[in-house]
Amino acid sequence: MSLPESLISLSLDEPVWERCFGVFPLVLVGTREADGGHDLAPKHLAMPLSWRNWFGFVCTPRHRTYQNALRSGVFTVSYPRPEQVLITSLAAAPRCGEQQQDKPTLQALPVFPATVVDGVLVEGCYLYLECRLERTLDELDGNSLLIGRVVAAHVHVDALRDEEREDNELIHDHPLFAYLYPARFAVIDRSQGFPLPAGFKR
């Protein structure tokens, strides 16, 4: 079967995701370091797993985030707002110091303690999850999927959906961050109702 002329088949030797834009979330995953400090790192391969209280993200075992999560058995997730793009990026700065241990840019991200798990949440974000690591799916060509059960969740009052406010007004007044891999982002402040089919049920 031949493809429509307008399609270009991509080489699978290079990441497909770098040849075409896609919309991803961007979260800050927090973990406890072995020395008692905390780590934060941005992750865009991150999403709810099911409609219930599961959350997963992809991380390479080379990262401290993976190592900390496996050792401590917990992690946190903070959803930044668009105005936090710079500090979110700074959390990905390379480590430095004699043994490449330090990530001094984390000082730009004020935090407060999580309530149920041993970890921190990033100030100014609009949604927070506290997760217990339940399982990992390793060997995804050098990456792993870490799956956590959400054991606590917190939402900023200005981001909370309720009957008093239209959803489009909420998103307009408190825009969302979209990460456009590989290296762009968008601020979502306009939205439309999705045209669900009549009689649609989940």
Q: How far apart are CA 81 and CA 92, in angstroms?
A: 17
Measured at the CA of 174, the angle between CA 172 and CA 179, to 5 degrees, comes to 95
Residue type, 91: A
Query: What is the closest distance, in whole angstroms, from the C-beta atom of residue 134 to ligand FMN in the complex?
Result: 19
Using only C-alpha atoms, the chain has a radius of gyration, in whole angstroms, of 19
Which range binds ligand FMN by CB under 6 A, 57-65, 74-82, 119-127, 163-171?
57-65
Burial of 18 (0-12, 13-18, 19+ CB in 10 A): exposed
Q: How far apart are CA 125 and CA 121, in angstroms?
A: 8
The answer to whether 43 contacts ligand FMN (rule: CB under 6 A) is yes
The answer to whether 45 contacts ligand FMN (rule: CB under 6 A) is yes
Query: What is the closest distance, in whole angstroms, from the C-beta atom of residue 58 to ligand FMN in the complex?
Result: 5
Q: 120: helix, coil or strand?
A: strand
The pattern of x and - marking residues 167 through 196 that bind ligand FMN according to CB under 6 A reads: ------------x-----------------
Query: What is the closest distance, in whole angstroms, from the C-beta atom of residue 125 to ligand FMN in the complex?
Result: 15
Interface pick for ligand FMN out of 60, 101, 115, 168 (rule CB under 6 A) = 60
Smaller CB separation from ligand FMN, 27 or 117: 27
The answer to whether 32 contacts ligand FMN (rule: CB under 6 A) is no
Q: How far apart are CA 28 and CA 95, in angstroms?
A: 17
